Chains A and B, each alone.
Chain A
């Protein structure tokens, strides 16, 4: 029955400090087409107290958060089987549930757990998936996200992005120079926030390395901007650029060997450069007198998209790294900036200004069609989920910076609210798929 056994040895983040604040998800706009699924509470078959992590609840929340499914509440379930032999599919058909997940958690020696789960199609009674996952007690929640990924992929054909991380910058304190900045890494649902760096000076523009191990970011800790790369597992930091003038907007190349950065050391005007991390060789990419900033790599690593006001207003341009002049990409409106590209390279996400308000928009790169996804006043810093299904961004809600997510079709909207008053959240960046 078990097709394979997965070993999930969850990498533990370097324990700097658990963030005081945590994010809470609210689905602010869903879709009627979300398919009902039932995740039956997993049977706890281990000696000892039931853990805090409710695996089935985490899976249900993940699938619901995708906007494509809606987990039915436990209280509507007519039965709560944990073995395939105990399922009466009629009890699920009358609830109009399409898919059913059952599972159990067993001891696995050395205080570890074996989490077994099965996914069934309620109408055919066919088992679609059956797996056993070995995990530690601390890794139980992460294991639930991995199970969500597998179920999501089985049901949609698209890889799930629940067992991924996000990074963001928390700003607390009063306006002016009394603010406190923290660079936080959390699970994709905002759970388990960990501060990896903090400062009384601004922290900006975090970006993940393609392997999800490093964060590049800008820190003003020495009263001037400098770009650092930090290993989030060991905490080790490396200064990579502290040149005169601007050091801004670092983004890792798809192979992780270079950073595109913005410098203004020669002359006093921001241009885009590529910094090879091994040899620290600097290659200048743009040469305009205008502002050139916010670079992002195409998925093939052959070109960069960036923001420039060379045409009079900020617009997105694309430059081939093997030569040729930058080509203007956006034409709708007077302010299109900070592009991010979908993992398949077909869609450009950006900040689009309309009537003085900033919204998140996506542009189909084949047709040039622009679709505005959000309607806040100050929506910015878009970042694609690694499966391309959602965009996370920062927004303003009740005068506070919060994170929001929107599906790339604009249908599903949700808010990750900061639980602590006076703390604003900015510059989210969704990490890559992780191998474990």
Chain B
């Protein structure tokens, strides 16, 4: 599929996101046709963006898709309830944009061994991946990598920093 732009892109998202919200998707998403409907489609709050701008919803600070990081508790890899809406929105966006690919990067804080933290960061990335797949995202759109405690965003040795480092980041590869 050619890269969709501006209003057309928004409409496409809205169309598929709306469709997705009404039907239960199998784990493997059905192929989505490349033809974008030109007609108006119902919009949803998660995917709606001002149609008159060039801004991708991924880059729009007012859109939930602008947020691409979820945080985890110490030693845990379960997705906390406050991030379910965010991940659901990303799932809808990915289903609506089957040419979009993401890499989920898993990270930990420093309070573990380097290699165990690679495994823990991977488990966090896999949690996010599994959630997106369950929402119906095509597995081919998702890759994962764990950096463990490397690439920490905050380098002080306290909980304020650690909580920022225990994260999974959704990186859109053709944003």
Instruction: Give A contacts to B, CB under 8 Å.
Output: 174-177, 179, 202, 204-205, 220, 223-225, 245-246, 248-249, 262, 264, 268-270, 291, 293-294, 307, 314, 335, 337-338, 351, 353, 356, 358, 377-378, 380-381, 396, 399, 426-427
Contacts and interface: CB of A to CB of B under 8 A. Distances in A.
B114 to A, nearest CB: 6
A241 to B, nearest CB: 14
23 contacts: A174-B155, A179-B151, A204-B114, A205-B114, A220-B145, A223-B145, A262-B119, A291-B119, A293-B118, A294-B113, A337-B112, A337-B113, A338-B114, A338-B115, A338-B116, A353-B111, A356-B111, A358-B113, A377-B157, A378-B110, A378-B111, A378-B157, A399-B156
B110 A245 contact: no
Given A202-B147, A223-B145, A268-B129, 13 more contacts: A175-B153, A175-B155, A202-B150, A225-B145, A225-B146, A248-B118, A268-B122, A270-B118, A291-B120, A294-B115, A338-B113, A338-B114, A378-B111
Contacts of B152: 175-176
Contacts of B148: 204
B119 A220 contact: no
B55 to A, nearest CB: 24
A291 B116 contact: yes
B84 interface: no
A262 B151 contact: no
Range of interface residues on chain B?
20 to 34
A292 to B, nearest CB: 8
B154 A175 contact: yes
A426 B149 CA distance: 12
Q: Is the interface of B mostly helix, strand, loop or mixed?
A: mixed
Contacts of B112: 314, 335, 337, 358
Contact of A293 (B116, B126, B151, B157): B116
A248 B113 contact: no
B157 A246 contact: no
B135 interface: no
Contacts, number: 97
A268 B150 CA distance: 21
A183 B120 CA distance: 24
B148 to A, nearest CB: 8
A106 B155 CA distance: 52
Contacts of A268: 122, 126, 129, 144
A293, A307, A351: which has the most chain B beta carbons within 10 Å?
A: A293
B150 A381 contact: no
Nearest to A357: B111
A254 B144 CA distance: 33
B123 interface: yes
Contact of B122 (A246, A314, A396, A427): A246
Interface in B116-145: 116, 118-120, 122-123, 126, 129, 144-145
A278 to B, nearest CB: 25
Contacts of A249: 115, 118
Contact of B151 (A202, A205, A338): A202
B147 A220 contact: yes
A248 B106 CA distance: 14
A427 B155 CA distance: 17
A246 B113 contact: no
A263 B113 CA distance: 17
A129 B110 CA distance: 48
A314 B157 CA distance: 22
Contacts of A202: 147, 150-151
B113 A224 contact: no
B119 A246 contact: yes
A281 B116 CA distance: 25
Given A176-B151, A176-B153, A245-B144, A427 B119 contact: no
A204 B150 contact: yes
Contacts of B156: 399
A391 to B, nearest CB: 14
Nearest to B74: A356
Contact of B145 (A224, A353, A377, A426): A224
Given A179-B151, A202-B151, A396-B157, A381 B114 contact: yes
A245 B122 contact: yes
B120 to A, nearest CB: 7
Contacts of A353: 111
Given A294-B113, A307-B113, A396-B157, A225 B118 contact: yes
A223 B68 CA distance: 18
B118 A337 contact: no
A380 B114 contact: yes
A383 to B, nearest CB: 12
Nearest to A176: B153
A249 B119 CA distance: 10
A263 to B, nearest CB: 11
Contacts of B119: 246, 248, 262, 270, 291, 293
A223 B119 CA distance: 17
Nearest to A220: B147
Contacts of A248: 115, 118-119
A21 B94 CA distance: 46
A293 B150 CA distance: 17
B46 to A, nearest CB: 27
B160 to A, nearest CB: 13
A268 to B, nearest CB: 5
Nearest to B153: A176
Contacts of B115: 204-205, 248-249, 262, 293-294, 307, 338
A223 B173 CA distance: 12
